[in-house]
Amino acid sequence: MTPLLEIKNLMTVFDTVQGRIKAVDGVSLTIDSGETLGIVGESGCGKTMLSLSIMRLVPANGKIIQGEILFSGQDLLKLPEEQMRVRRGSEISMIFQEPMTSLNPVFRVGEQIAEAVRLHQNLPAKQAMELSVEMLREVGIADPQKRSRDYPHNLSGGMRQRVMIAMAMSCHPKLLLADEPTTALDVTIQAQILDLISSLKRKNNMAVVLITHDLGVIAQAAEKVAVMYAGKIVETSAVAEIFSDPLHPYTQGLLESMPAACVESGQKGDYLKTIPGSVPGLYDFIEGCRFHDRCSYAFEKCSRREPPFLEVKSGHFVSCWKNNAQDH
Protein backbone atom coordinates (compact mmCIF):
# COMPACT_ATOMS: atom_id res chain seq x y z
CA MET A 1 0.00 0.00 0.00
CA THR A 2 1.31 3.45 -0.89
CA PRO A 3 1.84 5.60 2.24
CA LEU A 4 -0.22 8.78 2.51
CA LEU A 5 2.99 10.74 3.18
CA GLU A 6 6.49 9.62 2.28
CA ILE A 7 9.48 11.86 2.93
CA LYS A 8 12.72 10.91 1.22
CA ASN A 9 16.12 12.32 2.15
CA LEU A 10 14.74 15.81 2.88
CA MET A 11 17.20 18.63 3.53
CA THR A 12 16.19 22.17 4.54
CA VAL A 13 18.94 24.78 4.95
CA PHE A 14 19.42 28.41 5.89
CA ASP A 15 22.22 30.46 4.37
CA THR A 16 23.47 33.09 6.82
CA VAL A 17 26.47 35.37 7.10
CA GLN A 18 28.01 32.84 9.52
CA GLY A 19 27.51 29.96 7.08
CA ARG A 20 24.96 27.35 6.05
CA ILE A 21 22.67 25.80 8.67
CA LYS A 22 21.16 22.35 8.02
CA ALA A 23 17.93 22.54 9.99
CA VAL A 24 16.58 19.30 8.48
CA ASP A 25 19.34 16.98 7.31
CA GLY A 26 18.48 13.93 5.21
CA VAL A 27 15.19 13.00 6.91
CA SER A 28 13.15 10.05 5.58
CA LEU A 29 9.75 9.09 7.07
CA THR A 30 6.46 7.46 6.10
CA ILE A 31 2.94 7.67 7.52
CA ASP A 32 -0.23 5.85 6.48
CA SER A 33 -3.84 7.07 6.50
CA GLY A 34 -5.39 6.83 9.95
CA GLU A 35 -2.00 6.60 11.68
CA THR A 36 -0.37 8.90 14.24
CA LEU A 37 3.37 9.41 13.98
CA GLY A 38 5.03 11.13 16.92
CA ILE A 39 8.20 13.14 16.32
CA VAL A 40 10.09 13.73 19.57
CA GLY A 41 13.29 15.51 20.55
CA GLU A 42 14.69 18.45 22.50
CA SER A 43 14.09 22.05 21.47
CA GLY A 44 16.32 22.96 18.53
CA CYS A 45 16.37 19.48 16.99
CA GLY A 46 14.52 20.55 13.83
CA LYS A 47 11.04 19.19 14.55
CA THR A 48 9.13 22.37 13.74
CA MET A 49 11.22 23.07 10.65
CA LEU A 50 10.41 19.57 9.40
CA SER A 51 6.67 20.28 9.69
CA LEU A 52 7.05 23.67 7.98
CA SER A 53 9.00 21.96 5.19
CA ILE A 54 6.12 19.53 4.64
CA MET A 55 3.75 22.49 4.36
CA ARG A 56 6.25 24.40 2.17
CA LEU A 57 6.14 27.25 4.66
CA VAL A 58 9.88 27.50 5.27
CA PRO A 59 10.84 31.09 6.28
CA ALA A 60 12.09 33.35 3.50
CA ASN A 61 15.76 32.92 4.37
CA GLY A 62 15.51 29.13 4.17
CA LYS A 63 15.07 26.66 1.32
CA ILE A 64 14.60 22.96 0.65
CA ILE A 65 17.59 21.85 -1.41
CA GLN A 66 17.16 18.08 -1.52
CA GLY A 67 14.67 15.26 -1.26
CA GLU A 68 11.03 14.47 -2.00
CA ILE A 69 7.78 14.94 -0.07
CA LEU A 70 5.32 12.50 -1.63
CA PHE A 71 1.69 13.09 -0.64
CA SER A 72 -0.68 10.49 -2.10
CA GLY A 73 2.17 9.68 -4.50
CA GLN A 74 2.65 13.28 -5.74
CA ASP A 75 5.80 15.24 -4.91
CA LEU A 76 4.71 18.43 -3.14
CA LEU A 77 8.06 20.05 -3.88
CA LYS A 78 7.29 19.99 -7.62
CA LEU A 79 3.88 21.64 -7.37
CA PRO A 80 3.45 25.27 -8.47
CA GLU A 81 2.72 27.52 -5.50
CA GLU A 82 -0.92 27.98 -6.61
CA GLN A 83 -1.54 24.22 -6.51
CA MET A 84 0.30 23.88 -3.20
CA ARG A 85 -1.90 26.60 -1.73
CA VAL A 86 -4.96 24.52 -2.65
CA ARG A 87 -3.48 21.43 -0.97
CA ARG A 88 -2.53 23.44 2.11
CA GLY A 89 -5.58 23.65 4.34
CA SER A 90 -7.88 21.49 2.23
CA GLU A 91 -5.83 18.25 2.33
CA ILE A 92 -2.96 19.08 4.68
CA SER A 93 -3.55 21.24 7.77
CA MET A 94 -1.34 22.38 10.61
CA ILE A 95 -1.92 23.33 14.23
CA PHE A 96 0.81 25.84 14.98
CA GLN A 97 2.75 25.87 18.22
CA GLU A 98 1.35 28.95 19.97
CA PRO A 99 -2.39 29.61 19.52
CA MET A 100 -2.25 33.14 20.96
CA THR A 101 0.18 34.29 18.27
CA SER A 102 -1.28 32.10 15.51
CA LEU A 103 -4.79 33.53 15.87
CA ASN A 104 -5.32 37.08 14.65
CA PRO A 105 -6.11 39.20 17.74
CA VAL A 106 -8.29 41.72 15.85
CA PHE A 107 -10.75 39.22 14.29
CA ARG A 108 -13.40 37.15 16.02
CA VAL A 109 -12.58 33.44 16.14
CA GLY A 110 -15.65 32.44 14.12
CA GLU A 111 -14.60 34.80 11.32
CA GLN A 112 -11.12 33.28 11.25
CA ILE A 113 -12.47 29.74 10.86
CA ALA A 114 -15.00 30.92 8.26
CA GLU A 115 -12.22 32.56 6.24
CA ALA A 116 -10.43 29.20 5.91
CA VAL A 117 -13.69 27.53 4.86
CA ARG A 118 -14.47 30.20 2.24
CA LEU A 119 -10.96 29.97 0.83
CA HIS A 120 -10.85 26.20 0.41
CA GLN A 121 -14.51 25.21 -0.06
CA ASN A 122 -15.77 28.24 -1.97
CA LEU A 123 -18.84 28.67 0.27
CA PRO A 124 -20.88 31.85 0.70
CA ALA A 125 -20.15 33.87 3.85
CA LYS A 126 -23.31 32.85 5.74
CA GLN A 127 -22.80 29.13 5.12
CA ALA A 128 -19.10 29.38 6.00
CA MET A 129 -19.99 31.03 9.33
CA GLU A 130 -22.54 28.32 10.07
CA LEU A 131 -19.89 25.70 9.42
CA SER A 132 -17.42 27.50 11.68
CA VAL A 133 -19.96 27.41 14.53
CA GLU A 134 -20.50 23.71 13.87
CA MET A 135 -16.74 23.09 14.01
CA LEU A 136 -16.53 24.89 17.36
CA ARG A 137 -19.28 22.60 18.61
CA GLU A 138 -17.43 19.54 17.26
CA VAL A 139 -14.25 20.40 19.17
CA GLY A 140 -16.20 20.64 22.42
CA ILE A 141 -16.62 24.39 22.93
CA ALA A 142 -19.77 25.16 24.91
CA ASP A 143 -22.22 27.68 23.45
CA PRO A 144 -20.34 27.82 20.11
CA GLN A 145 -22.67 30.47 18.63
CA LYS A 146 -21.68 32.91 21.39
CA ARG A 147 -18.02 31.89 21.41
CA SER A 148 -17.72 32.39 17.66
CA ARG A 149 -18.16 36.12 18.32
CA ASP A 150 -15.33 36.24 20.88
CA TYR A 151 -11.83 37.52 20.21
CA PRO A 152 -8.84 35.27 21.00
CA HIS A 153 -7.99 37.21 24.17
CA ASN A 154 -11.45 36.38 25.57
CA LEU A 155 -10.62 32.66 25.55
CA SER A 156 -8.50 30.47 27.81
CA GLY A 157 -5.40 28.71 26.46
CA GLY A 158 -7.27 25.41 26.14
CA MET A 159 -10.15 27.05 24.28
CA ARG A 160 -7.76 28.85 21.92
CA GLN A 161 -6.13 25.50 21.17
CA ARG A 162 -9.57 24.04 20.38
CA VAL A 163 -10.21 26.95 18.01
CA MET A 164 -6.93 26.15 16.23
CA ILE A 165 -8.02 22.52 15.91
CA ALA A 166 -11.44 23.59 14.60
CA MET A 167 -9.74 25.77 11.99
CA ALA A 168 -7.38 22.98 10.95
CA MET A 169 -10.20 20.44 10.73
CA SER A 170 -12.74 22.70 8.98
CA CYS A 171 -11.93 21.26 5.53
CA HIS A 172 -11.51 17.65 6.73
CA PRO A 173 -7.84 17.22 5.76
CA LYS A 174 -6.19 13.87 5.09
CA LEU A 175 -3.11 14.86 7.08
CA LEU A 176 -2.87 16.98 10.25
CA LEU A 177 0.46 18.35 11.48
CA ALA A 178 0.21 19.20 15.20
CA ASP A 179 3.22 21.17 16.49
CA GLU A 180 3.39 21.00 20.30
CA PRO A 181 -0.43 21.10 20.62
CA THR A 182 -0.35 20.76 24.41
CA THR A 183 2.45 23.20 25.30
CA ALA A 184 1.62 25.60 28.18
CA LEU A 185 -1.62 23.77 29.00
CA ASP A 186 -2.24 22.12 32.37
CA VAL A 187 -2.27 18.32 32.54
CA THR A 188 -6.06 17.93 32.50
CA ILE A 189 -6.45 20.16 29.44
CA GLN A 190 -3.52 18.39 27.73
CA ALA A 191 -5.34 15.07 28.03
CA GLN A 192 -8.56 16.59 26.66
CA ILE A 193 -6.75 18.07 23.63
CA LEU A 194 -5.00 14.76 22.84
CA ASP A 195 -8.27 12.85 23.21
CA LEU A 196 -9.95 15.37 20.88
CA ILE A 197 -7.26 14.98 18.19
CA SER A 198 -7.47 11.17 18.47
CA SER A 199 -11.27 11.25 18.21
CA LEU A 200 -11.20 13.47 15.10
CA LYS A 201 -8.50 11.25 13.59
CA ARG A 202 -10.66 8.14 13.97
CA LYS A 203 -13.78 9.89 12.70
CA ASN A 204 -12.07 11.18 9.53
CA ASN A 205 -9.49 8.36 9.00
CA MET A 206 -6.93 11.15 9.11
CA ALA A 207 -3.17 10.78 9.53
CA VAL A 208 -1.55 12.85 12.28
CA VAL A 209 2.07 13.96 12.69
CA LEU A 210 2.38 14.87 16.36
CA ILE A 211 5.43 17.00 17.18
CA THR A 212 6.45 17.22 20.82
CA HIS A 213 9.31 17.12 23.31
CA ASP A 214 7.13 15.14 25.74
CA LEU A 215 7.37 11.34 25.57
CA GLY A 216 4.28 11.11 27.77
CA VAL A 217 2.29 12.72 24.96
CA ILE A 218 3.78 10.22 22.49
CA ALA A 219 2.82 7.30 24.74
CA GLN A 220 -0.78 8.52 24.96
CA ALA A 221 -1.48 9.49 21.37
CA ALA A 222 0.88 7.89 18.79
CA GLU A 223 1.35 4.48 17.19
CA LYS A 224 4.80 5.12 15.72
CA VAL A 225 7.58 7.41 16.92
CA ALA A 226 10.58 9.04 15.27
CA VAL A 227 13.30 10.41 17.55
CA MET A 228 14.98 13.50 16.10
CA TYR A 229 18.35 14.95 17.08
CA ALA A 230 20.30 17.82 15.50
CA GLY A 231 18.27 17.76 12.28
CA LYS A 232 18.37 13.97 11.82
CA ILE A 233 16.12 11.04 12.66
CA VAL A 234 18.16 8.73 14.92
CA GLU A 235 15.54 6.07 15.75
CA THR A 236 12.08 5.01 14.57
CA SER A 237 9.83 2.26 15.84
CA ALA A 238 6.39 1.39 17.12
CA VAL A 239 5.71 3.33 20.32
CA ALA A 240 5.54 0.22 22.54
CA GLU A 241 8.90 -0.95 21.18
CA ILE A 242 10.57 2.40 21.89
CA PHE A 243 9.43 2.32 25.51
CA SER A 244 10.28 -1.35 26.09
CA ASP A 245 13.56 -1.52 24.17
CA PRO A 246 15.06 1.86 23.21
CA LEU A 247 18.24 1.34 21.20
CA HIS A 248 19.74 4.78 20.64
CA PRO A 249 21.50 6.30 23.68
CA TYR A 250 19.68 9.58 23.05
CA THR A 251 16.29 7.82 23.19
CA GLN A 252 17.39 6.06 26.37
CA GLY A 253 18.38 9.41 27.86
CA LEU A 254 15.03 10.98 26.98
CA LEU A 255 13.17 8.10 28.64
CA GLU A 256 15.36 8.16 31.76
CA SER A 257 14.83 11.91 32.14
CA MET A 258 11.05 11.51 32.41
CA PRO A 259 9.79 12.18 35.96
CA ALA A 260 7.97 8.81 36.01
CA ALA A 261 11.26 6.97 35.45
CA CYS A 262 12.74 8.61 38.53
CA VAL A 263 9.69 7.75 40.64
CA GLU A 264 9.68 4.13 39.46
CA SER A 265 13.30 3.65 40.55
CA GLY A 266 11.93 3.42 44.08
CA GLN A 267 14.66 5.46 45.76
CA LYS A 268 13.36 8.28 47.92
CA GLY A 269 15.17 11.50 47.16
CA ASP A 270 16.40 10.40 43.73
CA TYR A 271 17.46 13.23 41.45
CA LEU A 272 15.84 13.47 38.04
CA LYS A 273 18.30 12.14 35.47
CA THR A 274 19.50 14.46 32.73
CA ILE A 275 21.37 14.11 29.46
CA PRO A 276 24.76 15.84 29.84
CA GLY A 277 25.58 18.74 27.52
CA SER A 278 23.15 20.30 25.08
CA VAL A 279 21.96 20.03 21.48
CA PRO A 280 24.72 21.21 19.08
CA GLY A 281 24.50 24.86 18.04
CA LEU A 282 23.15 25.62 14.60
CA TYR A 283 26.57 26.61 13.34
CA ASP A 284 28.46 23.72 14.94
CA PHE A 285 29.96 21.17 12.59
CA ILE A 286 30.15 17.73 14.20
CA GLU A 287 32.05 14.94 12.52
CA GLY A 288 30.74 11.41 13.05
CA CYS A 289 27.67 10.75 15.17
CA ARG A 290 26.11 14.03 16.25
CA PHE A 291 25.38 12.66 19.71
CA HIS A 292 28.84 11.26 20.45
CA ASP A 293 30.01 14.13 22.68
CA ARG A 294 27.01 13.56 25.00
CA CYS A 295 26.99 9.76 24.83
CA SER A 296 28.37 7.52 27.60
CA TYR A 297 28.71 4.62 25.13
CA ALA A 298 30.77 6.53 22.55
CA PHE A 299 34.02 5.02 21.30
CA GLU A 300 36.64 6.27 18.85
CA LYS A 301 34.72 5.45 15.65
CA CYS A 302 31.70 7.47 16.79
CA SER A 303 33.66 10.71 16.45
CA ARG A 304 34.94 9.86 12.95
CA ARG A 305 32.06 8.35 10.97
CA GLU A 306 28.35 8.96 10.95
CA PRO A 307 26.48 5.69 11.63
CA PRO A 308 24.07 4.40 8.95
CA PHE A 309 20.33 4.26 9.61
CA LEU A 310 19.66 0.51 9.73
CA GLU A 311 16.74 -1.81 10.53
CA VAL A 312 18.03 -3.82 13.50
CA LYS A 313 14.70 -5.48 14.27
CA SER A 314 11.48 -5.70 12.28
CA GLY A 315 10.21 -2.13 11.92
CA HIS A 316 12.84 -0.78 14.33
CA PHE A 317 15.48 1.47 12.74
CA VAL A 318 18.39 3.15 14.51
CA SER A 319 21.47 5.18 13.62
CA CYS A 320 24.09 4.10 16.18
CA TRP A 321 27.42 2.24 16.01
CA LYS A 322 26.68 0.59 19.37
CA ASN A 323 23.81 -1.31 17.75
CA ASN A 324 25.88 -2.30 14.71
CA ALA A 325 28.26 -4.76 16.37
CA GLN A 326 29.96 -5.97 13.22
CA ASP A 327 31.26 -2.44 12.58
CA HIS A 328 32.88 -1.88 16.01
pTM: 0.91
142-176 confidence digits (pLDDT tens) = 999 999 999 999 999 889 999 999 999 998 899 99
CATH entry 3.30.70.1170 includes domain 5-91+173-327: no
Tell me the average pLDDT of the chain.
Answer: 90
* Mean pLDDT of all residues in 1-21: 91
Cross-strand bridge partners of residue 38: 210, 225
How much is the pLDDT for 326? 46
259-288 confidence digits (pLDDT tens) = 765 555 555 556 678 888 888 876 677 789
Return the domain boundaries, the chain. Answer: 5-91+173-327, 106-171
Q: CA nearest 252: which of 205, 322, 314, 191? A: 322
Task: Please check the confidence at residue 113 and state whether its pLDDT lies above 70.
Answer: yes
Q: CA nearest 159: which of 172, 178, 142, 171? A: 142
Can you spell out the DSSP letters for 45-86?
SSHHHHHHHHHT---TTEEEEEEEEEETTEEGGGS-HHHHHH
How much is the pLDDT for 328? 43
